[in-house]
Structure 1
Amino acid sequence: MKKLLNGTLCLLIAISCTGRLQAQDKKDKIKELVSAQSYTFKAQTALPMSGRVRQLTSEYELKVAKDSVIAYLPYFGRAYTAPLDPTKGGIQFTSHKFGYTVNNGKKGGWTISIKPSDAEDVRQMTLLLSEDGYGTLQVTSNNRQPITFNGYITAREQRKQQ
């Protein structure tokens, strides 16, 4: 009976240590993605300034690399001017000229500020990111009310060479 209890105790300790190691590995991976400036923010919910919270069912994302920022996000809220091209709804742009700053958060995590200078409408994007990879993206525009997205980051897919 004593051997059974000792064996069970050892098994429980091993399982709890494995969980901690996996959590630490995930935090190290997220830290590596942020420092390499190569990740994709996957939006799961949209929180407009006016209106209700919307669960996103399509693949909306913000891709960040050292040389580019690519946004494909929806927009819900009040726009002060309408786009001339009706196919340009939402927040869609590719920027190659942008400011990028990373600050450490108070309780771990990071505050990432992206200021594209060659995007027509977007003034600033602020990504509040936890050590676990979950984040909140706030988008401030010139001609629209601000909007917030909740989601998570993953490793950015590399382009395939042909």
Structure 2
Amino acid sequence: MKKLINILCAAVLFILMYACAATPNMPSEKVAALLRNGEFTFMAEQAQPSNYDVVNVMNSLPRSSSSRMLDLDYGYTIVLKKSELRVELPYFGRMYSPSYDTANNSYRFTSKDFTVSQQTGKKGSTVYTFLTKDQPTVRRIIMEVFSNGKTYVSIDSNDRTPISYNGYLMESELPKK
């Protein structure tokens, strides 16, 4: 009887751990289809500022750590369509020319004049480089997409320190009619 209870507890624990796992991997065929189509959405899960002053401040707060604080809520995205690039990501780091309007202190813009270059990266990944011509502060956005859908994004700006994001690729939502 005691062995049966132990087996049931282990099975319940295994099921809970499996159900609470992070974002599931996307099949590589679906990732390849999204990349071929050229229209997809990057969903950010975590931010990593490169400025250690920011990390040190977050670590100095009581009962917190910077790694946990930089887990992002659902909804921070980069949406790539044929004619536009829409970026909605938070920013943590040093700004050299901040704005009094706090809405301008994060990355929230839509670019209609941009170039995309695509290369094959290491270990079968695909690396996109976006150069926006109508956004004076954003120098480039580098997005590395792996075959399981996991994605790494780095943003270089003229007026702030670089920042990177981890997340996953997903299909873009269809517009509501």
Q: With structure 1 as the length reference, what TM-score do the two structures score?
A: 0.80
For the pair 1:119 / 2:135, whether they are aligned, the reply is yes
Q: Distance in 1 between matches of 2:122 and 2:101?
A: 42
**1:39 aligned partner, one-letter code:** F
Q: CA deviation at 1:35?
A: 1.6
Instruction: Kindly state the Cα deviation for residue 34 of structure 1 after the two structures are TM-superposed.
Output: 1.0
Distance 2:101 2:122 in 1: 42
SS at match of 1:57: coil
Match of 1:75 among 73, 91, 97: 91
Amino acid at match of 2:31: I
Q: 1:84: Cα distance to partner? A: 4.8
TM-fit CA distance, 1:57: 2.1
Contact 2:39 2:172 in 1 (8 A): yes
Identity of aligned residues (%): 29
| Paired residue type of 1:41 | F
In structure 1, distance between residues paired with 2:91 and 2:41: 18
Counting matched residue pairs gives 138
Alignment correspondent of 1:62: 78
Q: Distance in 2 between matches of 1:36 and 1:91?
A: 25
Could you say what secondary structure the match of 1:32 adopts? Answer: helix
Partner of 2:45: 44
Deviation at 1:59, TM superposition (A): 1.6
Aligned twin of 1:35: 36
Give deviations 1:14-73, integer Å, cap 9, x for gaps. xxxxxxxxx8x8111111111211110000000001214411124211001111000000
| Cα deviation 1:110-162 (Å, max 9, x = unaligned) | 0111111111321100011100110110000110000000000100112123x
The two structures, once aligned, show a CA RMSD in angstroms of 1.5
Q: Distance in 2 between matches of 1:84 and 1:33?
A: 39
Note the residue ranges of structure 2 that are not aligned, 5 or more in a row: 1-24, 56-65
- The answer for the alignment partner of 1:14 in structure 2 is none
Query: In the aligned structure 2, how far is the partner of 1:60 from the partner of 1:140?
Result: 18
Alignment of 1:154 with 2:170, yes or no, is: yes
Q: CA deviation digits over 1:83-123, x for unaligned, max 9?
A: 25332221010000001011112311201111111113211
**Whose strand fraction is larger, Structure 1's or Structure 2's?**
1
Residue of structure 1 in register with 2:150 after alignment: 134
- Is residue 98 from structure 1 mapped to residue 114 from structure 2 by the alignment? yes
Which letter maps to 1:143? D
Separation of aligned partners in 1, 2:100 and 2:83: 28
Tell me, in whole angstroms, the C-alpha distance in 2 between the residues paired with 1:71 and 1:40: 10
Greater per-residue helix proportion: 2
Aligned partners of 2:85 and 2:110 also within 8 Å: yes
Q: Does the residue aligned with 2:164 lie in a helix, a strand or coil?
A: strand
Dislocated runs of 4+, deviation >4 Å: none
